[in-house]
């Protein structure tokens, strides 16, 4: 394509066909051919035309057979289709099957989870929560609150090993020892990114209330507090506790099956990846100190999370549900 483009550019400069052929080191008929094709069809004329050849062994019909088979139940003993199973069912080459799957962007071994909320009040609840993120009330504190239950104090040696190909990777011993569990209550100030946290042995409603009491005690009495929560049982039936604060504290519940609306879940993910995963704790006290150290590290330079969830249009939602049904 580059050579053909240079031939055409030389012709457009007004050079003779013989001169272009000499400069480009090609024959005169070659220059004439691409000059004529460009004059007739433009840039598209510089592309190769379809050529006769051996018919494709695996063409469009084979593609349709592969896609149709994936909509059927896999053979007995298999939970899902894979390349060899599809090839065996169609009596075809497994490489041909893989070529079709790659071309169609289908990855049979990749796994994703989904959760479609069935809350009839999804729209107003989601709008209430997102409104607190994007336009919080003046002279008010918005807290994203939840608990991370049953964090295991796992004791397991780890280090670095060299693999067969010379790469150095992190490694952990396959066996481990459990040394108890802790529960973590956490509250994220969405405006500043500051995190309040408390570890407990249990996660009862009384523990939840004491955690919020400790936060509220450090705040000015004239400051409203809006708490974003999920629908866990300890978060419900707290009317008597809310009455103690005479409307100063308001609970905002996320829709059911919509934990992604609670920003504290993002911080829990950071805690797991950066401080808990791959660590070794000989007892619960070491686990508690590790959690407290991560909280302190977060609060040294807190940064709020910016709500950037992309808009989900109705057509996209319908397409997603159709794909899940298939």
Claim to verify: residue 143 and residue 195 sit in the same structural domain: yes
Q: How far apart are CA 258 and CA 136, in angstroms?
A: 20
Task: Note whether 303 and 297 are within 8 A (CB).
Answer: no
Query: Which residues touch 108 (CB under 8 Å, ≥6 apart)?
Result: 70, 80, 81, 82, 83, 101
Whether the predicted pLDDT of 15 surpasses 50:
yes
Q: Which tens digits make up the pLDDT trace of 151-208?
A: 999 999 888 999 888 899 988 888 899 999 999 999 999 999 999 999 998 888 999 9
CB 229 within 8 A of CB 205: no
Q: Residue 134: what pLDDT?
A: 87
Q: What is the pLDDT of residue 181?
A: 92
310 inside domain: no
Same domain? 100 vs 229: no
Domain interval for residue 26: 2-46
Residues 147 and 88 in one domain: no
Do both 150 and 67 map to the same domain? no
Q: Is the pLDDT of residue 124 over 50?
A: yes
Whether 113 maps to a domain, the answer reads no
- Sign of the CA dihedral 229, 233, 237, 242? negative
85 and 197 fall within a common domain:
no
E-strand ranges in 113-259 read 140-155, 158-162, 168-172, 177-189, 195-200, 224-229, 249-253
Q: Confirm whether 114 is domain-assigned.
A: no
160, with CB counted inside 10 A (0-12, 13-18, 19+), is: exposed
Q: Do 136 and 202 fall into the same domain?
A: yes
Q: Is residue 305 part of a domain?
A: no
Cα separation, 80 vs 326, whole angstroms? 13
315 or 151, higher pLDDT: 151
The answer to whether residue 54 is domain-embedded is no
Is-contact 139 224, C-beta < 8 A? yes
pLDDT one-digit tens code per residue, 218-274: 888 888 899 999 989 889 889 899 988 888 899 999 998 888 889 999 999 999 999
Considering the domain boundaries, does residue 321 fall inside one? Answer: no
Please give the pLDDT value at position 326.
Answer: 47
Q: What is the CATH number of the domain that holds 253?
A: 3.30.420.10
User: Is the domain of 37 the same as that of 90?
Assistant: no
Q: Quick check: is 221 in a domain? A: yes
Do 172 and 289 fall into the same domain? yes
Give a yes or no: residue 55 inside a domain.
Answer: no
Residues 134 and 190 placed together within one structural domain of the fold: yes
**pTM, entire model:** 0.69
Nearest to 58 by CA among 95, 32, 112: 95
Residue 322 has pLDDT above 80, yes or no: no
Q: How many Å apart are CA 100 and CA 59, to the nearest integer? A: 9
Same domain, 280 and 166: yes
Residue 251 to residue 258: CA distance in whole angstroms: 16
pLDDT tens digits, residue range 272-309? Answer: 999 999 899 999 999 999 999 999 999 999 999 887 76
Domain co-membership, 179 together with 242: yes
What percent of the chain is predicted at pLDDT more than 90? 60
Domain identity same for 150 and 236? yes
Could you give the number of structural domains in the chain?
3
267 contacts: CB under 8 Å, gap ≥ 6: 186, 188, 195, 298
């Amino acid at each position: 394509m580059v050579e053909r483009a240079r031939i055409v550019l030389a012709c457009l400069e007004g050079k003779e066909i013989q001169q272009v052929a000499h400069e480009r080191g090609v024959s005169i008929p070659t220059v004439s051919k691409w000059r004529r094709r460009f004059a007739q069809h433009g840039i598209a004329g510089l592309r190769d035309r379809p050529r006769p050849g051996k018919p494709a062994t695996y063409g469009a019909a084979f593609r349709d057979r592969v896609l149709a088979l994936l909509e059927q139940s896999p053979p007995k003993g298999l939970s899902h289709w894979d390349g060899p199973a599809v090839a065996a069912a169609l009596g075809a080459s497994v490489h041909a099957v893989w070529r079709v799957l790659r071309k169609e962007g289908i990855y049979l071994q990749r796994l994703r989870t989904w959760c479609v909320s069935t809350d009839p009040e999804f729209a107003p609840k989601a709008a209430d929560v997102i409104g607190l993120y994007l336009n919080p009330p003046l002279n008010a504190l918005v807290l994203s609150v939840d608990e991370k239950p049953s964090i295991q104090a796992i004791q397991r040696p780890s280090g670095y090993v060299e693999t067969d190909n010379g790469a150095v990777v992190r490694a952990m011993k396959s066996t481990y020892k459990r040394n108890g569990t802790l529960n973590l209550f956490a509250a994220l100030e969405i405006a500043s990114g500051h995190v309040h946290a408390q570890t407990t042995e249990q996660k009862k409603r009384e523990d939840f209330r004491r955690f919020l009491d400790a936060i509220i005690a450090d705040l000015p009495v004239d400051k409203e507090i809006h708490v974003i929560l999920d629908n866990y049982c300890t978060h419900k039936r707290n009317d008597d506790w809310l009455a103690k604060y005479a409307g100063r504290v308001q609970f905002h519940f996320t829709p059911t099956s919509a934990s992604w609306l609670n920003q504290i879940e993002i911080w829990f993910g950071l805690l797991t990846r950066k401080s808990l995963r791959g660590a070794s704790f000989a007892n619960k006290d070491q686990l508690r100190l590790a959690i407290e150290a991560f909280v302190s590290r977060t609060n040294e330079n807190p940064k709020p999370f910016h709500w950037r969830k992309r808009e989900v249009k109705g057509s996209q939602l319908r397409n997603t549900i159709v794909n899940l049904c298939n």
